A and B are shown apart, each in its own frame.
Chain A
C-alpha cells in the first residue's frame, strides 16, 4: 500500500456487472446504499453480451430460417429464389439488441445512484479493493463486497481456442459467416442449442458427447424428442465418444475421437465448438488477501444469505456452487443486496427452473420422476402430449408433452417438466405452482385459456387424477 494513498469509500463494492452483479447494484441503490459496480468488460456480463441473449437471437433466427421450409404446406409460396443467410447482417442486428439492453442497465444503475467503474478489480485486503483502469489504479474501501465475477467456458488442456477454427461459445456467436461444417465437443445444453441452430442454418453438425446420450443432466424421457429432431436436422450425434486430440490441418479441424463401438476415427470439420462446461472466475481477484476460501472446483461456498466465510463479503451467481444460470445469479444478487440492506432475505428455494432452447424446447422445475423416487416419494405422473392440443396442431408444433410429478401421498406437486414449443415461457406456471406448494388439483381446477399450450398443464394434472379430457385415461 502506498503511503498517503486515498481510498474512495463506499458502502458496498460489487465485482462483476453481469445479471447477478447489476441486479445487486440496483437493489442496493434502492435500499439507499452507496454502491460501486466494477466491470472489466461490458455491463450485462456473459448473459447479455455473449450468452443467453445472443444465443437466443441466433436460435430465433435459425428457427425463422428453417420455418420458411415448412410454409409450403400451409399454402405459402415463396419466390423461387433461394433463401440465404447473411450472418454479418445478423451480427449487426444482434449488436443492436445487446447494446439496447446494456444502455438500459446503465440507465437503471445511474438512476439508482450506482457508480459504474470500468476496470479489473482485485481484493487488497478484507476491506479494500484495487481497480485497474487503463493503466490507472484506484483503491476503494468498502463495508461490504459482493463477488459476482461469473464463469467462463472450460477448455481442456489438449485443445486451444483460437477463435477462428476452434471456438468457444463466445466466439461461435461472433461468426460472420455460417460455417459449412461444425463439430461440437460436448452434448450439454449449449452444444445442443447452438448445434441445432447452426444445423437449421445449413451447417453440417457433428456432436461428440462422452456420456451415452445428449443432455445427460436432463431426465431421459424429456430428451428423446430432441434427439430425434436433431437427427432429422442431419445432426450427427456421437455418444460414448471421447476426444483424444484436436489439430488444424489445411484450414480444417481434425478431431481424433474414439469410442468402444466405433473405435478410433477422425472427425473433420470447418470449425469446432468446445462447450463442455464452465469454470468460475475466482482465481485472479485476490480472494486469499480477503480471506475468502475457494473450494476445489474454484467455487465459493455461501450460505442462504450468500455470505462467504468472511461475513461481510458475499458471493453470487456462477462463482458459487450450483447450476450456472443467470436467473439463479439475479436471485442471489437481490438477496445479497437485501441482506446487506438489513432485510431478512434468503435464497431458500431448491426450485431453480431450467430452460433449454433446443428444438423442441425443454423446460422444467423441481424433481424428475427418478429423483422423486430416489428421495423416497411414492410418485404419480401425469402426461399430456402436445399432439392432443388444439393450439399445437394449429401452429404445427405438435411435438412434446407436459409432465407433472406428484407426491402420491398428498398430491403436492414435486416437479413439472415440458418438452415442446414455448416450454421456456410455459414453465412459469410450474415455478409458481411449486413455489406455492400447490397440489395437482390446484392446476387441474384452474381455468386455462383456450386455445393455448397452457392447457397442456391442466390436462397433465387431470391425467394424474384419472380424468383428462382430451386423452384416454388408462
Chain B
C-alpha cells in the first residue's frame, strides 16, 4: 500500500486546500493520472498518481485544509493486490485447528489505527449527534486530538460549504458568501454571520499583516497627464491590430517604471532582516496585482526590462487570462521585485497601497479621466490620472520617492522620451 503525502508544491508552503477529487475510492488509476486538485498559496496544483493501482482510501474531503506531509490518499499498487489472497491461502493451509486464530486475524486486519481520528469517546458521540464525520475534522488539541470546539468549528465551516455547492470554485464560494453575509447583515433574525478566514483570503490577510507590521509605509501621490501617451497609443493601434495585439496603457507603465527603477535602485530592493542587509536587485520582475474572482493575484512579468512593449502587452494579457482561470503556476506568481496595482479601471482617486512584502515599493494607478487643469495660467481639459506610491521609509526617503515618480511622470507624459530611453 502506498501512502500519498501532500507534497510541498509551492515555495515552503505549509498547507493546502483540497479543491476537488478527480477520482473516487476504489477506482483504478494509471500512473501520472490526475488524482486531486489542491490549492496552495495562490495556485491550483493538480497532483497525479505516483503509481498505477487502486485508490484504497481518501482521507480528506473537498474543502479540507491539509498540512504538508499528511497522507491524503493511499494506493494499492497493481503488484500489491495478491497480498490478501496469500493471506487467505495461509489461513486455509493452517486448517481446522486455527479457527479461532482466523477469527482473530480478521479482527486484527480490520483495525484502523492508521486513519483513526484522535478523539475521546465523548467527542465521538458528540460528532455523531452533530452529524459530523469525525474522520474529516482536523484536531487542534495535543498531537492533533479533536476537541469539542473543533467539531463546532468544522460544523460551521461545513454548513457554509454545503450552502454554496453550486459554485465551482472554493474561493469563489467564500467570496460570494462574504458578499451575501454583508448584504444580509441586519436582515432576518441573525445580526451577523461568521465566516472562517481561510484559503486565499487567509493567505492575503497574513501577507498584508506581515507587510504593514514590518515595513514603515509612506504613500506619496502625484498626477499624470495622459493625452500624449493616449495619442501615441492610438497611432500604434493599426500596427498592433495587424500583429493581433491588444495594446493597453499598462505596458507603457511597466516600461517607464523599469527605466525609473534602474535609476533609483533602492526602489527595486528589499531588506534582509536576518542579516541586516539591503538587497539591490539588478533584475526587474514586475508584479501586476490583478483582481480576480479568487481574490487578489499578482502575476509577475519576469525581466520586464528586456521585453518590448508588444511582448509586455502579450504577456500581460496571457497572465491575466491565466489568473482568472486560476491556472497560474507558483513560478508565475512569485519573485516580483516591484508591484503595480492597477485599480484604475474600477475607479478611485488616491490610495495607500500596501507593499507586496518584501519589496520596497508599490505603485497604484488610478482612474483616468478628463479633468480641468491649469496650463500657462489657463484652465484646460486634460486626460488625467493619479498614481499613489507606497514606499519603505527605511530604505527610501521622501525626496527619492518624489524623484522616482517625477521620472515616471516625465517618461509617460512625453512618450518620445520613453522610447529613446528604452532598450
Chain B residues with CB under 8 Å of A185's CB are 97
Given contacts A156-B96, A414-B113, contact A217 B104 (CB under 8 A): yes
Chain A interface SS verdict (over half): loop
The stretch that binds A, out of B115-123, B154-162, B272-280, B391-399, is B115-123
Contact residue among A324, A377, A436 (Cβ-Cβ distance under 8 Å from B103)? A324
Does A96 have its Cβ within 8 Å of any Cβ on chain B?
no
CB distance from B86 to the nearest CB of A (A): 15
Chain B residues with CB under 8 Å of A352's CB are 107
Chain B residues with CB under 8 Å of A375's CB are 113-114
Say which size band chain B's interface belongs to: 35 or more
Does B124 have its Cβ within 8 Å of any Cβ on chain A?
yes
Contact across chains for B94 and A436 when beta carbons are under 8 A apart: no
Give a binary string over A274-315; 1 marks a CB under 8 Å from any B CB, 0 the rest.
001111000000000000000001000000000000000000
Bound together, the chains give a CA A223 to CA B142 distance in angstroms of 34
Contact across chains for A322 and B128 when beta carbons are under 8 A apart: no
Contact across chains for B143 and A411 when beta carbons are under 8 A apart: yes
Given contacts A217-B104, A323-B104, A375-B113, contact A242 B95 (CB under 8 A): yes
Give a binary string over A398-410; 1 marks a CB under 8 Å from any B CB, 0 the rest.
0000000000001
CB distance from A321 to the nearest CB of B (A): 6
> Which residues of B in the span 375-404 have a Cβ within 8 Å of any Cβ on A?
none
> Which residues of A in the span 367-405 have a Cβ within 8 Å of any Cβ on B?
367, 371-372, 375-377
Contact residue among B95, B105, B116, B128 (Cβ-Cβ distance under 8 Å from A344)? B128
Contact residue among A277, A324, A346 (Cβ-Cβ distance under 8 Å from B98)? A277
Bound together, the chains give a CA A276 to CA B145 distance in angstroms of 41
Contact across chains for A367 and B113 when beta carbons are under 8 A apart: yes
Bound together, the chains give a CA A322 to CA B3 distance in angstroms of 26
Contact across chains for A277 and B103 when beta carbons are under 8 A apart: yes
Closest A residue to B1 by CB, please name it: A376
Chain A residues with CB under 8 Å of B206's CB are none
Chain B residues with CB under 8 Å of A56's CB are none
Does B140 have its Cβ within 8 Å of any Cβ on chain A?
no
Closest A residue to B94 by CB, please name it: A210
CB distance from B141 to the nearest CB of A (A): 8
Bound together, the chains give a CA A292 to CA B143 distance in angstroms of 42
CB distance from A300 to the nearest CB of B (A): 14
Given contacts A344-B129, A352-B107, contact A435 B102 (CB under 8 A): no
Does A248 have its Cβ within 8 Å of any Cβ on chain B?
no
Does B197 have its Cβ within 8 Å of any Cβ on chain A?
no
Chain A residues with CB under 8 Å of B11's CB are none
Contact across chains for A323 and B97 when beta carbons are under 8 A apart: no
Does A439 have its Cβ within 8 Å of any Cβ on chain B?
yes
Chain B residues with CB under 8 Å of A410's CB are 143-144
Contact residue among A278, A372, A412 (Cβ-Cβ distance under 8 Å from B143)? A412
Closest B residue to A187 by CB, please name it: B97
CB distance from B151 to the nearest CB of A (A): 13
Contact across chains for A349 and B121 when beta carbons are under 8 A apart: yes
Chain B residues with CB under 8 Å of A366's CB are 113
Give a binary string over A321-342; 1 marks a CB under 8 Å from any B CB, 0 the rest.
1111000000000000000000
**B interface residues (Cβ-Cβ under 8 A, vs A):** 3, 94-108, 110-114, 116, 118-121, 124-125, 128-129, 131, 142-145
Beyond A154-B96, A277-B102, A349-B124, 20 additional contacts (C-beta under 8 Å) are A154-B99, A188-B100, A217-B108, A276-B99, A277-B98, A278-B100, A321-B106, A322-B107, A323-B103, A344-B128, A345-B128, A346-B128, A348-B124, A350-B113, A372-B113, A375-B113, A377-B113, A412-B118, A435-B121, A437-B120
| 23 contacts across the A-B interface (CB closer than 8 A) | A188-B100, A211-B94, A217-B100, A217-B108, A276-B98, A277-B100, A278-B100, A321-B110, A322-B107, A322-B110, A323-B107, A344-B128, A348-B124, A349-B124, A350-B111, A376-B114, A410-B144, A412-B143, A435-B121, A436-B120, A436-B121, A437-B118, A439-B143
**A interface residues (Cβ-Cβ under 8 A, vs B):** 154, 156, 185-186, 188-190, 209-211, 216-217, 242-243, 276-279, 297, 321-324, 344-346, 348-350, 352, 366-367, 371-372, 375-377, 410-412, 414, 435-437, 439
